[in-house]
Amino acid sequence: MTGSLSARRGFLAGVAAVFTAAALPAFAQSVSGVYRAEGRNPDGSSYTGTVQIQDSGGSVQMQWSIAGQSYSGTGSRNGDVVWVDWGQTHPVVYVRMPGGELHGTWANGRALERLIP
């Protein structure tokens, strides 16, 4: 009976470890770096430029250089999702794609942006 109880405890400990690991959030890689930006404005016109991102443990700072204009914003990253307040009513929201690109939307979903590492 003692061996049986010990085996059950080992089994339960293993099951608990699996469920604990499954419940932990997945931490995405940093999104820090310089990106090429390609986007579409709310009026349908396109733009290109560069974006520099600093990711410090989920706290994000971004600097855009688009058509001779500079924009900056701060925000946060939770896994593969990045939210950035850049001074407008609605934030820029990006999702990190498996290849490392960030695909985002701004102007309350009426504009799109792709950041290419």
The pLDDT tens digits for 37-87 are 999 999 999 999 999 999 999 999 999 999 999 999 999 999 999 999 999
Cα distance between residue 45 and residue 47, in whole Å:
7
Q: What pTM was estimated for this model as a whole?
A: 0.76
> What's the confidence (pLDDT) of residue 72?
98
Domains annotated for the chain, with CATH where assigned, are 33-116 (2.40.128.120)
> What's the confidence (pLDDT) of residue 21?
41
Cα distance between residue 75 and residue 5, in whole Å:
51
> What's the confidence (pLDDT) of residue 27?
58
Residue that has been written with the tokens 């960030």 in this structure:
102
Residue range 15-36, pLDDT digits in tens: 444 444 444 445 568 999 999 9
Cα distance between residue 54 and residue 46, in whole Å:
25
Report the C-alpha dihedral over residues 72, 73, 74, 76, rounded to 10 degrees. -120
Residue 94 has pLDDT above 80, yes or no: yes
Q: What is the DSSP string of 7-63?
A: HHHHHHHHHHHHHHHHHSPPPPPP--EEEEEEEE-TTS-EEEEEEEEEEETTEEEEE
